[in-house]
Amino acid sequence: MRKIYIFDTTLRDGEQSPGVNLNVKEKVEIALQLEKLGIDRIEAGFPAASPGDLAGVNAVARAVKNATVIGLSRSREGDIDAVREALVGAADPCLHLFLATSPIHREHKLRMDKGQVLEAAEAAIKYASKYFDKIEFSLEDAGRTELDFICEVTAMAIRAGAKVVNIPDTVGFLTPYEYGNIFKTVKEQVPGVEKIQLSAHCHDDLGMATANALAAILNGADQIEGTINGIGERAGNTAIEEVAMALETRQEFYGAKTSLVLNEIYRTSRLVSKLTGMPVPGNKAIIGANAFAHESGIHQDGMLKEKTTYEIMSPETIGLKESKLVLGKHSGRHAFRENLAELGYEGMSEEQLNIAFAKFKELADKKKIVTEEDIRAIVEEKLVDTVEMYALDFIHVSYGNQSVPTATVRVHTHEGEVIEEVALGNGSVDAIYKALDRATKEEVELSDYSIKSVTQGKDALGEVHVLLKQNGVSVQGRGVSTDILEASARAYLDGVNRMIEKRKQSKGSASGEISFK
Ligand code: KIV
Ligand code: ZN
């Protein structure tokens, strides 16, 4: 069976989702989980974008041992040099060069004609060949590029030394038929194409990213680029879990498979959702909360008689075990540790384990039944506040439907300063957020707020997600608690901490064309 290589760009294209800002530690944590998932190639970032990005790529390059680590670069020497520096220490480094090829980009963005594009790309590949054995070249906005020019640029890239040529549908414009036809034509017409790999990179603006990637596979693509949970700027990228499960479930149709460790999909999805602060919609294919839920009586009846009536793949395949009662308030540390290992949370430090156990005991006192989902929510909350500017000590809210809500909050900084503030608000959450604004002296705008329960029942844990904005920059925040006001406060403070971190990281960023979707 044909092997399809998976190129994960969660840490680069995915990180360019609005509000997402991963620090170096978080990038490494995701990269190591991608390695466990069996991802072949990990694009860790765009080193020329900022010193923070360069440091993130370098940390991933040094940590990952069993996957190729890739750095993105415009077709310029300075960018290529930044990737060289960032990939020092990588077991298997690769440079990802790109240049736009479509008439719209040539005319309005690059102000270059076809000849100049060919020349600039060739010069970049040749310069890079002095330092890299593995080079991928991408024709940005290939989806809106003349087909004969795609073939011409691909032929040039092969001659110049690229090992992979990527043909992206940068703006998610194409239909599966059109996208597949590009691959078919390139395969048939470009001399030397058999010596390299062809790659597909799709965006989901019209909801076609997975369909287009699969059409590319049917027409000869060797590699699929995508992200976990399909995150990415605008409508996002191809969801890797969707491609992997489509190939697995319809093997007889595609005759191709990935080498992903499928039962790591769910865990990877949770981790990416937690660290990016981007919740997975309930109806999302494969990893959404409802993806394996059967609601109607007719479906439930069918499932009880024979699972295959309504189930085309099993939840266990992606690592989703049936939720069962795990622990109660009398469970000890040993049982807790064993349950964590069973859920896949291994390698926690003693300090993290102690904090998680204390949180579990606190929760078990409030809730009779502590489920797998509760345990995941506890462990997935930040367990050590090492890099955070502010941590929450307490909130106190006074509320009555005939009076003005008042909130008192106390936070401490990582330098040990304790700050207490009071504020009035239009509602309890508003009062808490105003008090936190005063305490942190950060002026942020709340542009989105959502709350969901982690499990069922009145005593369920509540999970709050916020999107905060400051000077045109947005960040996500997440908080969990059995009390929704506390969860709201934690989510807001998490967002504020991320905003401060992002501000620090963006100092010294490259200007100009740094976003490529
Ligand atoms: O969408 C796109 O074209 C990209 C390139 C940089 C590959 O992300
Ligand atoms: Zn992209």
Structure confidence at residue 336 as a pLDDT band (50, 70, 90): confident
Q: Could you tell me the distance, in angstroms and rounded to a whole number, from the CA of residue 495 to the centre of ligand 1?
A: 28
List Cα–Cα distances, 421 to 42, 412, 486, in angstroms.
44, 12, 16
Annotated binding-site residue? 92: no
CB neighbour list of residue 78: distance below 8 Å, 6 or more residues apart: 48
Annotated binding-site residue? 483: no
List Cα–Cα distances, 131 to 124, 127, 154, 292, in angstroms.
11, 8, 21, 48
Place of tokens 């750095």: 71
Structure confidence at residue 506 as a pLDDT band (50, 70, 90): low
Q: Are 414 and 391 in contact (CB under 8 A)?
A: yes
Of 52-56, 146-150, 362-366, 399-403, give the lowest mean pLDDT range: 362-366
Q: Could you tell me the distance, in angstroms and rounded to a whole number, from the CA of residue 25 to the centre of ligand 2?
A: 24
Q: Residue 484 class from Cβ within 10 Å (0-12 exposed, 13-18 middle, 19+ buried)?
A: middle
| Residues paired with 135 in a beta bridge | 95
| Index of the ligand 1 atom closest to the CA of residue 13 | 8
Angle, nearest 10°, between helix axes 209-218 and 240-249? 50
Which residues have CB atoms below 5 A from the ion given as ligand 2? 13, 517
Q: Could you tell me the distance, in angstroms and rounded to a whole number, from the CA of residue 236 to the centre of ligand 1?
A: 12
Backbone angles phi, psi at 8, to 5 degrees: -95, 125
Pocket test for ligand 1, best of 9, 98, 205, 234 (most atoms within 8 A of CB): 98
Residue 232 has pLDDT above 80, yes or no: yes
508: region left, alpha or beta (phi > 0 left; psi from -120 to 50 alpha)? left
More confident residue, 329 or 497: 497
Using CA atoms, how far apart are residues 420 and 95, in angstroms rounded to an integer?
49
Range among 405-414, 463-472, 500-509 rated most confident: 405-414
**What per-residue confidence (pLDDT) applies to 512?**
43
Q: Could you tell me the distance, in angstroms and rounded to a whole number, from the CA of residue 424 to the centre of ligand 2?
A: 44
| Index of the ligand 1 atom closest to the CA of residue 170 | 1
Q: Are 231 and 18 in contact (CB under 8 A)?
A: no
Mean of the pLDDT values across residues 260-264? 97
Tokens of 54: 């360069």
Which residues sit with their C-beta closer than 6 Å to ligand 1? 13, 98, 138, 140, 166, 168, 170, 201, 203, 516-517
Residue 7 has pLDDT above 70, yes or no: yes
Nearest to 434 by CA among 419, 423, 444, 443: 423
**What per-residue confidence (pLDDT) applies to 509?**
55
Structure confidence at residue 454 as a pLDDT band (50, 70, 90): confident
Residue 385 has pLDDT above 60, yes or no: no
Q: Could you tell me the distance, in angstroms and rounded to a whole number, from the CA of residue 145 to the centre of ligand 1?
A: 14
Domain 390-505 CATH assignment equals 3.30.930.10: no
- Nearest ligand to residue 516 Cα: 1
Mean of the pLDDT values across residues 39-64? 97
**What per-residue confidence (pLDDT) applies to 102?**
98
Written as one letter, the residue type at 379 is V
Pocket test for ligand 1, best of 41, 138, 179, 237 (most atoms within 8 A of CB): 138
Using CA atoms, how far apart are residues 15 and 9, in angstroms rounded to an integer?
8
Residue 41 has pLDDT above 50, yes or no: yes
Of 65-74, 145-154, 320-329, 459-468, give the lowest mean pLDDT range: 320-329
Q: Are 412 and 419 in contact (CB under 8 A)?
A: yes
Note the maximum CA span of the chain.
Answer: 78
Nearest to 254 by CA among 242, 236, 262: 242
Q: Are 98 and 138 in contact (CB under 8 A)?
A: yes
- Nearest ligand to residue 170 Cα: 1
Q: Could you tell me the distance, in angstroms and rounded to a whole number, from the CA of residue 234 to the centre of ligand 1?
A: 13
Using CA atoms, how far apart are residues 89 and 410, in angstroms rounded to an integer?
43
More confident residue, 175 or 514: 175
Mean of the pLDDT values across residues 509-515? 45
**What per-residue confidence (pLDDT) applies to 459?**
76
CB neighbour list of residue 483: distance below 8 Å, 6 or more residues apart: 462
Tokens of 38: 């069996």
Of 99-113, 246-260, 262-276, give the lowest mean pLDDT range: 262-276
Residue 233 has pLDDT above 80, yes or no: yes
Q: Are 202 and 223 in contact (CB under 8 A)?
A: no
Written as one letter, the residue type at 353 is L
| Index of the ligand 1 atom closest to the CA of residue 141 | 3
Question: pLDDT tens, 294-309?
Answer: 777 777 777 788 888 8
The residue whose C-alpha atom lies closest to atom 7 belonging to ligand 1 is 138
**What per-residue confidence (pLDDT) applies to 511?**
45
Annotated binding-site residue? 13: yes
Using CA atoms, how far apart are residues 37 and 241, in angstroms rounded to an integer?
10
Q: Could you tell me the distance, in angstroms and rounded to a whole number, from the CA of residue 52 to the centre of ligand 2?
A: 20
H helices of 255-370, where? 265-276, 297-305, 333-342, 350-366
- Nearest ligand to residue 141 Cα: 1
Write down the mean pLDDT value for the chain. Answer: 91
- Nearest ligand to residue 167 Cα: 1
Q: Are 411 and 392 in contact (CB under 8 A)?
A: yes
Residue 516 has pLDDT above 50, yes or no: no
Q: Could you tell me the distance, in angstroms and rounded to a whole number, from the CA of residue 238 to the centre of ligand 1?
A: 12
For 354-363, b/e burial (b = at least 16 CB within 10 A) is ebbbebbbeb
Written as one letter, the residue type at 143 is G
More confident residue, 25 or 75: 75
**What per-residue confidence (pLDDT) applies to 302?**
77
More confident residue, 22 or 329: 22
Place of tokens 């596979």: 217
| Index of the ligand 1 atom closest to the CA of residue 168 | 3
Residue 489 has pLDDT above 90, yes or no: yes
The residue whose C-alpha atom lies closest to atom 6 belonging to ligand 1 is 516
Using CA atoms, how far apart are residues 319 and 428, in angstroms rounded to an integer?
39
Mean of the pLDDT values across residues 156-169? 98
Q: Residue 134 class from Cβ within 10 Å (0-12 exposed, 13-18 middle, 19+ buried)?
A: middle
**What per-residue confidence (pLDDT) applies to 508?**
52
Q: Are 98 and 142 in contact (CB under 8 A)?
A: no
Nearest to 241 by CA among 256, 261, 215, 223: 261
The alpha-carbon radius of gyration of the chain (Å, integer) is 24
Q: Could you tell me the distance, in angstroms and rounded to a whole number, from the CA of residue 454 to the centre of ligand 1?
A: 35
| Residues paired with 370 in a beta bridge | 327
The residue whose C-alpha atom lies closest to atom 1 belonging to ligand 1 is 170
Tokens of 420: 């207490």
| Index of the ligand 1 atom closest to the CA of residue 140 | 3
Using CA atoms, how far apart are residues 512 and 78, in angstroms rounded to an integer?
14
**What per-residue confidence (pLDDT) applies to 274?**
87
Q: Could you tell me the distance, in angstroms and rounded to a whole number, from the CA of residue 295 to the centre of ligand 1?
A: 39
Residue 19 has pLDDT above 90, yes or no: no
Annotated binding-site residue? 201: yes
Q: Percent of the chain, pLDDT > 70?
A: 95
What is the number of H-type helices and E-type strands within the chain? 17, 18
Domain ranges (residues) in the chain: 2-276, 333-382, 390-505
The helix/strand/coil state of 288 is: coil
Nearest to 360 by CA among 346, 382, 379, 343: 379
Q: Could you tell me the distance, in angstroms and rounded to a whole number, from the CA of residue 187 to the centre of ligand 2?
A: 22
Q: Percent of the chain, pLDDT > 90?
A: 70
Domain 2-276 CATH assignment equals 3.20.20.70: yes
Residue 317 has pLDDT above 90, yes or no: yes
Backbone angles phi, psi at 175, to 5 degrees: -95, 160
More confident residue, 398 or 505: 398
Pocket test for ligand 1, best of 150, 201, 231, 513 (most atoms within 8 A of CB): 201
**What per-residue confidence (pLDDT) applies to 14?**
97
| Index of the ligand 1 atom closest to the CA of residue 138 | 7
Using CA atoms, how far apart are residues 468 and 505, in angstroms rounded to an integer?
17
- Nearest ligand to residue 96 Cα: 1
Q: Are 33 and 250 in contact (CB under 8 A)?
A: no
Residue 514 has pLDDT above 50, yes or no: no
Question: pLDDT tens, 273-282?
Answer: 989 988 899 8
- Nearest ligand to residue 70 Cα: 1
| Index of the ligand 1 atom closest to the CA of residue 9 | 8
The residue whose C-alpha atom lies closest to atom 2 belonging to ligand 1 is 170
185: region left, alpha or beta (phi > 0 left; psi from -120 to 50 alpha)? alpha
